[in-house]
Amino acid sequence: MPHIRPFRSGDEPALAEVRLRTADAGADATGILVDDDLWAAVFVLPYVARHPDLAFVALTDDGRVAGYVVGTDDTRAFEDWFATEWWPRFAQRWPRPVAAVTRQDGILTYAYGRRAGAEPFGDSYPAHLHIDLLPELQGQGVGRELIETLIAALQARGVTGLHLAADVRNTGAIAFYPRPGFTRIPSHDDVVAFAREL
């Protein structure tokens, strides 16, 4: 049976690998971008840097990290931290694109545009999460267990609401999120957003 444990320093490369292998709407994104490292730098590593206590990993029977959930208890504060402290360190490696021509340009445009209030969901549902599971752990209740583990940590802090956004092409994720109690909320055309009151 898969095992859930808190994130530990040193898990970062494994989390980056899980993100890469699930980043294309749930499928392997290896080679889609010019630099595969960008996926983790935007969508998982900042969370474990700022909130290591709100990160949990799923282990296979042989002890490999094959899934994770990461999150923040305060989206507005997190996005300001991302914009002022996390992302500037990557400006030389990944300069701001002039136009969003390629998929990598689109992710970079998103990263450079992150700031408090850029997404409306954080006002009503202050926490948000990112979750990824390799196919070998899907369909076994691991995703639900990861989410419930994070929710327990958020509730202990008095957080009242949680949101997330899924790629509109990720039909598996969109079908999954109502199972652990999330409801669809209005969102941009390219994502499907979900929220849950805590």
Of 44-48, 76-80, 94-98, 185-189, give the lowest mean pLDDT range: 185-189
pLDDT at 60: 95
Provide the sign of the torsion angle of the four alpha carbons 97, 102, 108, 113, taken in this order.
positive
Q: Which amino acid is at 104?
A: Q
Task: Decide if 82 contacts 114 (C-beta within 8 A).
Answer: yes
167 - beta bridge partners?
191
Return d(Cα 176, Cα 172) in angstroms, integer. 6
To the nearest 10°, the Cα dihedral for 189, 114, 88, 69?
Answer: -80
Q: Are residues 180 and 38 in contact, defined by beta-carbon separation less than 8 angstroms?
A: no
Give the pLDDT mean for 115-135: 90
Structure confidence by residue, pLDDT tens digits, 159-172: 999 999 999 999 99
Percent of the chain past pLDDT 70, that is, above it, reads: 99
| Cα–Cα nearest to 70, from 149, 9, 139 | 149
Return d(Cα 98, Cα 16) in angstroms, integer: 27
Which of 47, 68, 85, 48 minimizes the C-alpha distance to 5? 68
Q: Which amino acid is at 156?
A: A
pLDDT at 189 over 70: yes
Tell me the β-bridge partners of 72.
128
The pLDDT value recorded for residue 117 is 84
Coil, strand or helix at 100: coil
Question: Rounded distance, CA 162 to CA 153, Å?
Answer: 12
pLDDT digits (tens, 9 = 90+) for 5-29: 999 999 999 999 999 999 999 999 9
For range 112-130, the mean pLDDT:
89
Domains of the chain from N-terminus onward? 3-197 (3.40.630.30)
**Listed range (107-111, 141-145, 176-180, 188-192) with the worst mean pLDDT:** 188-192
Structure confidence at residue 122 (pLDDT): 80
Q: What is the pLDDT of residue 1?
A: 67
